[in-house]
A and B are shown apart, each in its own frame.
Chain A
Amino acid sequence: MSFPRVLAVAKKEVVQILRDSRSLLIVVIMPVTLMLLFGYGVSLDLKGLPVYVYDQDGNQQSQDLLKRFQNSEYFKVVSVVDGYPAMTRALDDGRAKMGIVIPWDFSQRLRDGGPVQVQALVDASDDNTANVLIGYAQAVVQGYSAEIQLNWLRERGQSVQPAPVSIETRTWYNEDLESSAFIIPGVLALVMSVIGAFLTSLTIAREWERGSMEQLISTPVSAMEIMLGKLTPYFILGMFDVLVCAVIAIYWFHVPFRGSALTLLFSSALFLVVVLSLGFFISVVAKNQFAASQIALLITFLPAFLLSGFLFSIEQMPIALQWITRIFPARYYVSLLKQVFLKGTPTALLYADLIPLAVFALVLALLATRSFHKRLE
């Protein structure tokens, strides 16, 4: 292998990237775009959701309960309706996410004693929103119920404490339960996958499709040299993107960074080797840019998005799928990212993710070199 020849191929690839301003654009703008997209667009912090109410009772006490819904930051009472059809219609067309129905004998039954039920009709087509809404509504109703009980007992000369058990919750690593802190570190894995999937996967397929592969084959450059030369520029671009992403995450979105910068760089370099080798391998096998791009999407981007723990926790998936996630390197990288950013786990304790990632990098790099031959079929 000769270093000058690698350099020559790399130079050719760099010229090709530079000449194609849009590819360059993706390299610089894509990480920023993805960061902003996920930083602002993806929030599971539900607040101010539209609620319709149907108060059949219309007494002081039902008004008190509704006022509590109004005062909660999680709900926004947008309309008061006077029948089920209007309520159904609002839920059907999405103007309301929840409807609260207070029965006509609400205040009377509270006076007489015993339990009384308030209905919460929830649009559960989005199950997560529905779940969170139900939780908040429970809290409002239980708070009011406890107060009513307390007053009722005091009126009858009984002294009881407001709540026998208090819940003291501490949320670790992401103290304010910010969605952005949970999501943004994982965006790095997406960015790396995109570089592998969209840029690298097309490099060899393009040469085949345009017929310039024959020219490359007729030169004295070896297969290994072509690969190194083609991948080095993308590796450098990838590392540059890691830095851009980290800076945006820490200084723009104020995601805590508690681990070591060196670990971040090292694991990113490993993951880059993984996606670049994969992209190269796909490119060699597919020989057609459309097929290459679709396969790359399927085996690098999609797993990074779905099977990595980036958004959906792996432990909640079916067992078989949990095992499948282990054959996709993105899983280990996302886990590393979250630990380095949020938990600040010492590097020595990260071996469970670092070792598989290193093994993948090695195996895939070998696979990529073995797959590519300078031969015309």
Chain B
Amino acid sequence: MLGRLKQMLIKELIQVFRDKRTRFILIGPPIIQMLVFGYAATYEIHHVPTVVLDLDHSQESRELFSRFASSPYFDVQRQLTDTRQIRDLVDRGQATVGLEIDADFAQKLRKGQTAPLQVIVDATNSNTALIASGYISQIALGFSQDEEKDHIYRIAPQLVEQVPSIELEQRPWYNPGLSSRWFFVPGVIGSLTLVLVITLTAFAVVREREIGTLEQIMVTPIRPAEFILGKTLPFFLIGLFDVSLIAVVGTLWFQVPFRGHIWVLLAGSILFLLCMLGVGLLISTVSSTQQQAMVTAFFFIMPSITFSGFGFPIATMPQWMQYLTYLIPLRYFLVVLRGTYLKGVGMEILWPQMAAMAGMSVSLLTIAILRFHKALD
């Protein structure tokens, strides 16, 4: 038994590593993808191209605009002279935010009336628009409060120090710099492993079927269990190697903190890899050509990545969809990844995720092996 298994393992490893393209593909693309993701995937906004139109030319309007100019979030590129210019620049995509102050701004403030600040935001990217609007409000409200203080100082200087106010003290835990990279890098480890292990496993079996070598293996004395083990074990090892490779590159290159226990992450990775092997084998049992396997894998991969919480919060999905996300192994692995990387939590918090993945891997592998037996007969 062990002898035959060993032969099978040697054959599989030779097959994988013989082709120089395949060799490259196991190492090159995962690293490239990790780097591209780390740099490209960001929800942060800095230096939003901004244009301003000051029709008031008062000390107050200049003060308000200078607060925008000194903020890291906005990049005030041009002072305009005409409202139509805002339309033109935003239309052509050269400005994302346009700020306009009308001629009676300072006059209204001095009279104690409400003076408007007109804001135009290009919302083609609704997320940028939302976050930028938040920053604009913060700057304008800060200015507003200072104006009010000045106003009180003018009418009743003795009260200024006593006016009550409430401030919000922000404490962003786990990621104090609010860096998108810290959010995405651990997630990329999960999604890259998913893509690689599923396609690798599914293709390996289907290729034998497509080029007709499966029959040759069937006439050898190898048993189905040995065949399955021989087929999956190499990919389990390759998967584990790739998880470690991506994790090391991502962590060191992007300097994402790892606060948890390496053993917890390893346990989670093994359970997740077993789930993915099950899925890959299942796909191979329902596909007869590699193109079919690719297509089927794609239909599993895309929803997995979209609904797992990889880039988009599960909490904002419709309720029925939130229930569906419980069926996705990647969902649990992401909690383990972010938990160990950023939150530094251990088994006492992550056991439900581990249990879910363990249950899923057992059932997926069982179904896959049962189906596989049938497919071989």
Chain A residues contacting B155 (CB-CB under 8 Å) are: 158, 160
* Cα distance A293–B342 in the bound complex, in angstroms: 34
With CB as the reference atom, state the residue of chain B lying closest to A142.
B141
Instruction: Output the least CB separation between B61 and chain A (Å).
Output: 11
Contact between chains at B25 and A161 (CB < 8 Å): no
* Cα distance A153–B160 in the bound complex, in angstroms: 10
Contact between chains at B302 and A132 (CB < 8 Å): no
Contact between chains at A162 and B114 (CB < 8 Å): yes
Known contacts A43-B317, A294-B199, A343-B91; A152/B164 CB under 8 A: yes
Contact between chains at B290 and A173 (CB < 8 Å): no
Interface string of B127-163 (1 = CB under 8 A from A): 1111101111110110110011001100110010111
Instruction: Output the least CB separation between B306 and chain A (Å).
Output: 5
Contact between chains at B116 and A166 (CB < 8 Å): yes
Contact between chains at B174 and A158 (CB < 8 Å): no
Chain B residues contacting A123 (CB-CB under 8 Å) are: 173-174
Q: Does B39 contact A (CB under 8 A)?
A: yes
Instruction: Output the least CB separation between B84 and chain A (Å).
Output: 14
Contact between chains at A199 and B144 (CB < 8 Å): no
Q: Does A177 contact B (CB under 8 A)?
A: yes
Binds A, one of B176-184, B222-230, B246-254, B265-273: B176-184
Known contacts A120-B171, A164-B147, A290-B22; A312/B43 CB under 8 A: yes
Contact between chains at B164 and A149 (CB < 8 Å): yes
Known contacts A46-B313, A311-B311; A116/B291 CB under 8 A: no
Contact between chains at A168 and B117 (CB < 8 Å): yes
* Cα distance A123–B178 in the bound complex, in angstroms: 10
* Cα distance A290–B199 in the bound complex, in angstroms: 8
Instruction: Output the least CB separation between A44 and chain B (Å).
Output: 5
**Binding site of A, secondary structure by majority: helix, strand, loop or mixed?**
helix
Instruction: Output the least CB separation between B155 and chain A (Å).
Output: 6
Known contacts A171-B129, A177-B129, A290-B290; A122/B118 CB under 8 A: no
Instruction: Output the least CB separation between A57 and chain B (Å).
Output: 12
* Cα distance A69–B191 in the bound complex, in angstroms: 36
Binds A, one of B2-10, B44-52, B236-244, B369-377: B44-52
With CB as the reference atom, state the residue of chain B lying closest to A344.
B91
* Contact pick for A122, options B129, B172, B287, B294, CB 8 Å: B172
Chain B residues bordering chain A, tally (CB within 8 A): 120
Contact between chains at A47 and B291 (CB < 8 Å): no
Contact between chains at B169 and A119 (CB < 8 Å): yes
Contact between chains at A45 and B316 (CB < 8 Å): yes
Known contacts A127-B179, A139-B137, A291-B22; A23/B49 CB under 8 A: no
Chain A residues contacting B135 (CB-CB under 8 Å) are: 135
Q: Does A230 contact B (CB under 8 A)?
A: no
Instruction: Output the least CB separation between B198 and chain A (Å).
Output: 12
* Contact pick for B114, options A93, A126, A164, A181, CB 8 Å: A164
Contact between chains at B22 and A160 (CB < 8 Å): no
Contact between chains at A131 and B178 (CB < 8 Å): yes
Interface centre among A20, A128, A164, A298 (most CB of B within 10 A): A164
Instruction: Output the least CB separation between A171 and chain B (Å).
Output: 4
* Cα distance A263–B175 in the bound complex, in angstroms: 44
Q: Does B1 contact A (CB under 8 A)?
A: no
Q: Does A170 contact B (CB under 8 A)?
A: yes
Q: Does A347 contact B (CB under 8 A)?
A: no
Chain A residues contacting B128 (CB-CB under 8 Å) are: 313, 316
Chain B residues contacting A26 (CB-CB under 8 Å) are: 295, 298-299
Instruction: Output the least CB separation between B289 and chain A (Å).
Output: 7
- Which residues A105-147 have CB closer than 8 A to chain B? 109-132, 134-139, 141-142, 144-145
With CB as the reference atom, state the residue of chain A lying closest to B298.
A198
Instruction: Output the least CB separation between B27 and chain A (Å).
Output: 12
Contact between chains at B32 and A178 (CB < 8 Å): no
* Contact pick for A120, options B169, B183, B307, CB 8 Å: B169
Q: Does A148 contact B (CB under 8 A)?
A: yes
Contact between chains at B165 and A116 (CB < 8 Å): yes
Q: Does A306 contact B (CB under 8 A)?
A: yes
Q: Does A163 contact B (CB under 8 A)?
A: yes
Contact between chains at B171 and A122 (CB < 8 Å): yes
Contact between chains at B303 and A37 (CB < 8 Å): yes
* Contact pick for B133, options A129, A162, A169, A291, CB 8 Å: A169
Contact between chains at B302 and A34 (CB < 8 Å): yes
Q: Does A58 contact B (CB under 8 A)?
A: no
Contact between chains at A135 and B137 (CB < 8 Å): yes
Chain A residues contacting B338 (CB-CB under 8 Å) are: 125
* Contact pick for A167, options B41, B92, B130, B136, CB 8 Å: B136
* Cα distance A302–B39 in the bound complex, in angstroms: 13
* Cα distance A109–B152 in the bound complex, in angstroms: 20
* Cα distance A92–B199 in the bound complex, in angstroms: 34
Contact between chains at A315 and B49 (CB < 8 Å): yes
Q: Does B220 contact A (CB under 8 A)?
A: no
Chain B residues contacting A206 (CB-CB under 8 Å) are: 289-291
Contact between chains at B203 and A290 (CB < 8 Å): yes
Contact between chains at B141 and A40 (CB < 8 Å): no
With CB as the reference atom, state the residue of chain B lying closest to A145.
B166
* Cα distance A297–B77 in the bound complex, in angstroms: 38
Interface string of B324-342 (1 = CB under 8 A from A): 0000000000010011001
* Contact pick for A134, options B49, B170, B176, B291, CB 8 Å: B170
Contact between chains at B165 and A148 (CB < 8 Å): yes
Contact between chains at B118 and A168 (CB < 8 Å): yes
Q: Does B219 contact A (CB under 8 A)?
A: no
With CB as the reference atom, state the residue of chain A lying closest to B179.
A127
Q: Does B122 contact A (CB under 8 A)?
A: yes
Instruction: Output the least CB separation between A302 and chain B (Å).
Output: 6
With CB as the reference atom, state the residue of chain A lying closest to B344.
A92
Contact between chains at B167 and A132 (CB < 8 Å): no
Q: 27 A-B contacts, Cβ less than 8 Å apart?
A: A22-B295, A92-B339, A92-B349, A114-B165, A116-B165, A117-B167, A121-B171, A130-B178, A142-B141, A148-B164, A160-B112, A163-B144, A164-B115, A165-B147, A172-B122, A177-B129, A182-B125, A202-B291, A206-B289, A290-B199, A293-B294, A294-B199, A306-B36, A306-B41, A309-B125, A317-B39, A321-B39
7 closest A-B pairs (Cβ-Cβ)? A135-B134, A113-B162, A124-B172, A128-B43, A174-B123, A124-B175, A171-B123
